């Protein structure tokens, strides 16, 4: 028996099912076809060094190889589904760093989403750790009006000093977990936000000069509510470079967060809605400035592969999806750039780098700005701990990664850290605020808008 089996895995089996100490129920949660996918893993271990969850515990069961092995044992009925076992699946960030380095092409991202959806149906979804977050993810975050109302409420509570008071109480007396969670959600929200965007009330933004492309633009939930400035900069840059930008009113959440936590049917419902809304617009591309949304929309064809009405339409939709930096690189982006005197580094969003394979385009755009000093960020390929709602569900694990990231940013000596995903931007801004780092966090669209002198 290989060392891996003998030491770590066996330990996990005994801890999570073999001794039945916390056994929930036997769990065969995959079909035969899905089980086949697990067999692609040859247990080489190349993925271990790239896994941020494994880096924290050094427990094989928290590694991609370990989880795949546990899944296989679970499917084959050799172990039971236990709370201990569930936790090993829960703490996976679904960052897909393992998938990007796997020489056997194991579809880890697909498998972890599949498992989460099955567990959710069985009542063991990852959101069971927090009823509050479950409610927010299901009923608030994907709906821009409700999300906006929720954030306005939190801002009002903050303004009248209740957040400060609650934080002081939390430091001094035993506080309920639910209230701590509220404080944590509040802490992640930006301190100031732009309320109106120049495109409000208009669904088509004309290009500057000759029209090169007609593109649809996904507003996104977090971007539209929390960082409107990023959407505004994205639309202005696209129009500046010759795109006619269409922002259809009926669009909805991309479904990424729902899929991420196992709300599979919700995610598919959002996907169908977006397909219906965008497909009639005669577009050359569908653009998003959020890596998580882009990765999800590129996978609609996979999500809806068994849907008779939508499978073909989903395929067409997915083939049009472009990340903002991916599309800008196809346009004459360097012609009108003005110099910016700053030292800039770039942090790769997991769902851009690992899920979409986009690494060079953002670097190319930054480096093209005259006078900018671009420095590579050590460990830029390791998750910042944001990972959708991971930071809210597992704050200790998330903070461990965030601190590590901030240390690398500090070492880079950069004045500005650029990212290409709203979730990462919020997480980095939160970190910079908490640790008092003198660094500005920007989305790549904001940096480009600054260089084109079209920002606010």
The site for ligand SF4 (CB under 6 A) is made up of 41-47, 50-53, 64-65, 68, 92-98, 102, 104, 106, 108
Is the C-alpha dihedral spanning 320, 325, 326, 330 positive or negative? positive
Output 66 or 207, the one with its CB closest to ligand SF4: 66
Shortest distance (Å) from residue 96 CB to ligand SF4: 5
Give strand pairing partners of 94.
Answer: none
For residue 29, the minimal CB distance to ligand SF4 (Å) is 18
C-beta of 46 vs 400, nearer to ligand SF4: 46
Nearer to ligand SF4, 64 or 216 (CB): 64
Q: How far is the CB of 199 from ligand SF4 (least distance, A)?
A: 35
Q: What angle do CA 118, 122, 126 make, to 5 degrees?
A: 70
Q: Please give the Cα distance from 162 to 142 (Å, whole number).
A: 26
Least distance in Å: CB of 67 to ligand SF4? 6
Nearer Cβ to ligand SF4, position 96 or 228?
Answer: 96
**92 or 358: whose CB is closer to ligand SF4?**
92
Closest to ligand SF4 by CB, 102 or 444:
102
Give me the least distance between CB of 91 and ligand SF4, in Å please.
8
Closer residue to ligand SF4 in complex, CB, 19/42: 42
Cβ distance to ligand SF4 smaller for residue 151 or 352: 352
Rounded to 5 degrees, what are φ and ψ at 284? -90, -25
CA dist list (Å): 391 to 245, 366, 453: 33, 28, 34
Nearer to ligand SF4, 105 or 131 (CB): 105
SS3 string, the chain, reads CCHHHHHHHHHHHHHHHHCCCCEEECCCCCCHHHHHHHCCCCCCCCCHHHCHHHHHHCCHHHCHHHHHHHHHHHHCCCCCEEHHHHHHHHCCCCCCHHHHHCCCCCCHHHHHHHHHHHHHHCCCCHHHHCHHHHHHHHHHCCCHHHHHHHHHHHHHHHHCCHHHHHHHHHHHCCCCHHHHHHHHHHHHCCCCCCCCCCCCCCCEECCCCCCCEEEEECCCHHHHHHCHHHHHHHHHHHHHCCEEEECCCCCCCCCHHHHHHCCHHHHHHHHHHHHHHHHHHCCCEEEECCHHHHHHHHCHHHHCCCCCCCHHHHHHHHHHEEEHHHHHCCCCCCCCCCCCCCEEEECCCHHHHCCCCCCHHHHHHHHHCCCCEEECCCCCCCCCCCCCCHHHHCHHHHHHHHHHHHHHHHHHCCCEEEECCHHHHHHHHHHHHHHCCCCEEEEHHHHHHHHCCCCC
Q: Cβ of residue 214: shortest distance to ligand SF4, in angstroms?
A: 36
Axis crossing angle, helix 291-298 with helix 311-320, rounded to the nearest 10: 140
CB of 354 to ligand SF4, least distance (A): 8
* Minimum distance, C-beta of residue 69 to ligand SF4, in the bound complex (Å): 9
359-392: b (≥16 Cβ within 10 Å) or e: bebbbebbebbeebebeebebbbbbbbbbbbbbb
Closest CB to ligand SF4 among residues 30, 102 = 102
Q: How far is the CB of 43 from ligand SF4 (least distance, A)?
A: 5
To ligand SF4, the closest distance from the beta carbon of 118 in angstroms equals 17
Minimum Å distance from CB 427 to ligand SF4?
15
Q: Which residue lies nearer to ligand SF4 by CB, 92 or 241?
A: 92
Instruction: Give whichever of 220 and 385 is closer to ligand SF4, judged by the CB atom.
Output: 385
Shortest Å, Cβ 402 to ligand SF4: 15
């Amino acid at each position: 028996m290989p060392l891996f089996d003998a030491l770590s895995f066996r330990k996990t089996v005994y801890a999570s099912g073999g001794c039945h100490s916390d056994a929930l129920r036997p769990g065969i949660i995959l079909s035969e076809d899905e089980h086949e996918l697990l067999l692609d893993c040859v247990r080489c271990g190349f993925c271990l060094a790239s896994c941020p969850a494994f880096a924290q515990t050094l427990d094989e069961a928290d590694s991609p190889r370990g989880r795949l092995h546990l899944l296989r044992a679970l499917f084959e009925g050799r172990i039971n589904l236990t709370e201990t076992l569930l936790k090993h699946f829960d703490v996976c960030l679904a960052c897909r760093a393992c998938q990007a380095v796997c020489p056997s092409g194991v579809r880890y991202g697909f498998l972890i989403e599949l498992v989460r959806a099955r567990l959710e149906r069985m009542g063991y979804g990852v959101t069971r750790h927090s009823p509050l977050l479950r409610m927010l993810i299901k009923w608030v975050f994907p709906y821009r009006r409700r999300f906006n109302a929720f954030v306005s409420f939190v801002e009002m509570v903050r303004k009248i000093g209740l957040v400060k008071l609650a934080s002081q109480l939390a430091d001094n007396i035993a506080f309920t977990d639910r209230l701590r969670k509220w404080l944590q959600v509040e802490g992640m929200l930006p301190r100031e936000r732009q309320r109106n965007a120049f495109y409000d009330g208009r669904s088509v933004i004309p290009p500057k000069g000759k029209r090169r492309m007609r593109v649809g633009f996904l507003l996104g939930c977090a971007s539209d509510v929390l960082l409107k400035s990023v959407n505004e900069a994205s639309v202005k840059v696209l129009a500046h470079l010759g795109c006619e930008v269409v922002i259809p009113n009926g669009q909805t959440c991309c479904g990424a967060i729902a899929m991420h936590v196992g709300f599979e049917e919700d995610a598919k419902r959002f996907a169908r809605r977006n397909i219906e809304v965008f497909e009639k617009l005669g577009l050359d591309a569908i653009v998003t400035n959020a890596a998580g949304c882009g990765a999800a929309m590129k996978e609609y064809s996979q999500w809806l592969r068994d849907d008779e009405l939508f499978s073909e339409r989903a395929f067409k939709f997915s083939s049009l999806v472009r990340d903002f930096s991916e599309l800008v690189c196809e346009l004459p982006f360097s012609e009108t750039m003005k110099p910016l005197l700053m030292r800039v580094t770039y942090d790769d969003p997991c769902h851009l780098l690992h899920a979409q394979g986009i690494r060079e385009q953002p670097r190319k755009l930054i480096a093209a700005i005259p006078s900018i000093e671009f420095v590579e960020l050590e460990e830029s390929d390791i998750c910042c701990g944001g990972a959708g709602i991971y930071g809210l569900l597992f704050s200790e694990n998330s903070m461990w990664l965030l601190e590590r990231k901030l240390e690398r940013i500090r070492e880079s000596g950069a004045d500005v850290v650029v990212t290409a995903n709203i979730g990462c931007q919020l997480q980095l801004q939160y970190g910079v605020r908490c640790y008092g780092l003198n660094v500005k966090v920007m989305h790549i669209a904001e940096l480009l808008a600054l260089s084109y002198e079209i920002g606010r």
